Amino acid sequence: MVDRAEQPDDKTYSCYCAYQFPFRPHDSALVRFGSIPFDLGEAVGFSKSRILLTGHKSGKQKAGEAFLIERCESMKSICRRTEVLFLSALFAFMLLGCGGKQPEGGAKPPALQEAVSIATDAYIYGYPLVTMDMTRKQMTNVATAGPEHAPMGQLLKLRTYPSVDNHAVTAPNADTLYTITWLDVSKEPWVFSIPDMGDRYYLMPMLSGWTDVFQVPGKRTTGDKAQKYAITGPGWTGTLPQGVTEYKSPTGIVWILGRIYCTGTPEDYKAVHALQDKFSLVPLSYYGKPYTPLPAEVDANFDMKTAVRDQVDGMDTYTYFNYLARLMKTNPPADADAPLVARMAKIGLIPGKDFDPSKLDLLDKEAIKAVPKLSVAKIMEYFKKAGKPLNGWIFTTKTGIYGTDYLQRALITAIGLGANRPQDAVYPTSEEDADGKKYDGAAHKYVIHFDKGQMPPANAFWSITMYDAKYFFVPNAINRYTVSSRTKFVPNADGSVDVYVQADSPGKAKEANSLPAPKAQFILMLRLYWPKETPPSIIDGSWAPPPVKQVD
């Protein structure tokens, strides 16, 4: 669909296309100004993104004709060649090689397509760091620790599963009690002490600002006994107390997203609470001394209600890049990121410095305003390419450590911030039924059938969680957000188990096996914590999750 908007002379004229998935790499968008073609390529090739070019009418210049040829396929429909009026001012820009004011110092600006490509790559690259810091702000913007928030450097001990209206982090689980802290180790190390955990399954992954899990003490890795760790920053050197092990963070931001398994009964809540209360956290300078944290400063202007992902996705290009540049001062890019960091400098994005768009000419500055929407669409479109399809589920082991796979890292940030290494957990996710149709709880009912002896193979536990289209819990009459290895299923006569996925109750006799769905689109996520690595195993391919079938 192509729209044309004409405004008064002193306003902006714009032409845009609304795209649908999928946009294939060999498809292209071509704008012709007279006989001059200009290939926008990937700059416009993403779903539901609006903008191609924007220009300003200048003086008595007359509008020139342009032809927008868009080829993008979705559900067998193709946008056809459409003639649109454009501005001769923009035509002049193209004739002059995207003319406008040259950057300071006489350096040649990147071509339009290159500028948009760099800006898009930079947005995707920085998406985890910006999201992490916004999450940190929302979770720590309180004076003292409470039920769901705690200041920096203090332990947040969630005493129940996350509430249904908690939208701080996408894809929360209803299997563990979180023990969480956010640290700034750029100034001083912090000492984190884990008590003897007995037979309780737990893990305490430590994430860098870029969402990589750089260490993960836990039952699988370091065992059950008491442990002490000094988490140090990238530039720290010094001597640690005896019995304290150093874990060096590559960034100033550290997020400990601890999980302790809990069955959800009052008795088990009490047992886990007792363990949580034995964890401790102090600055290194206070180790072995009495320590009482002072009340933290609260930013009254920060939005504590809107979901973090919505806040990040709503940032304009300049706000986003300025934020990213500031964060990279204490959360430096990895050595392997050097090629992209060098490219980002071409558009004025340099770690630790304010975003400087003077390196771009006028048309480039206008074009990159579309980058956030284009980039978010590209991130979400990557879902089906991010893993291996298994019976309608998408499965990947590329979580927790990402290297230079920036698109994978950004997608996991968007749909499952804080994901573990695959040895600790895998997360097969499904948006479509066995026939490839999007789930729709308003129109259909579904069933997941497990043959006898074919429940998900995990050493710790497994669960299937219901999420809405934004990866948050779904309110329902029985307050059930997951079915899991602790669910007391009612089996069929042959020992198999059916899980009923639908908006309405399947009836009293089947309610034990019910996973309530919304009357809308939804997403299913299967978790296997400490997945088995020998048959049957999802890791080696000897086990696969069953398809979700429509039954009405």
pLDDT at 362: 86
CATH classification number, 1-96, choose in 1.10.3470, 2.60.40, 1.10.10, 1.20.58:
2.60.40
The helix/strand/coil state of 86 is strand
Contact (Cβ atoms closer than 8 angstroms) between residue 156 and residue 408: no
CATH classification number, 386-550, choose in 3.40.50.300, 2.60.120.600, 1.10.10.10, 3.90.550.10:
2.60.120.600
* Sheet arrangement for strand 514-516: 514-516, 497-502, 446-450, 548-550
Contact (Cβ atoms closer than 8 angstroms) between residue 382 and residue 137: no
Specify the DSSP class assigned to residue 417.
Answer: T
DSSP lists the bridge partners of residue 516 as 502
Q: Is the dihedral of CA 182, 185, 188, 191 positive or negative?
A: positive
Contact (Cβ atoms closer than 8 angstroms) between residue 525 and residue 370: no
Q: Say which amino acid occupies 229.
A: Y
Nearest to 42 by CA among 361, 330, 407: 407
Q: Does domain 171-286 have CATH number 2.60.40.1610?
A: yes
**Measured distance CA(461)–CA(528) in Å, rounded:** 6
Contact (Cβ atoms closer than 8 angstroms) between residue 141 and residue 311: no
Domain extent listing, the chain: 1-96, 171-286, 386-550
Contact (Cβ atoms closer than 8 angstroms) between residue 19 and residue 43: no
**What does the pLDDT profile of the chain (552 residues) look like in tens digits?**
333 333 333 333 233 333 322 333 333 333 333 333 333 333 333 333 333 333 333 333 333 323 222 323 332 232 322 222 232 233 333 333 333 344 444 556 688 899 999 999 999 999 999 999 999 999 999 999 999 999 999 999 999 999 999 898 899 999 999 999 999 999 999 999 999 999 999 999 999 999 999 999 999 999 999 999 999 999 999 999 999 999 999 999 999 999 999 999 999 999 999 999 999 999 999 999 999 999 999 999 999 999 999 999 999 999 999 999 999 999 999 999 999 999 999 999 999 999 999 888 888 899 999 999 999 999 999 998 999 999 999 999 999 999 999 999 999 999 999 999 999 999 999 999 999 999 999 999 999 999 999 999 999 999 999 999 999 999 999 999 999 999 999 999 999 999 999 999 999 999 999 999 999 999 999 999 999 999 999 999 999 999 999 998
pLDDT at 363: 83
Domains 171-286 and 386-550 equal at CATH topology level: no
Nearest to 516 by CA among 552, 471, 464: 464
Q: At what angle do helices 371-381 and 406-416 cross, to 10 degrees?
A: 90
Quickly list H helices, 230-283: 266-276
User: Judging by DSSP bridges, how do beta strands 514-516 and 497-502 pair with one another?
Assistant: parallel
DSSP lists the bridge partners of residue 55 as 13
Taking the CA atoms of the chain, what radius of gyration do you get in angstroms? Answer: 26
Q: Say which amino acid occupies 260.
A: I
**Measured distance CA(153)–CA(157) in Å, rounded:** 13
119-148 as b/e: b if 16+ CB within 10 A: bbbbbbbbbbbbbbbbbbbbbbbbeebeeb
Q: What is the pTM of this model?
A: 0.81
Specify the DSSP class assigned to residue 220.
Answer: T
Which residues contact residue 14 at a Cβ distance below 8 angstroms, ignoring those fewer than 6 apart? 5, 51, 53, 54
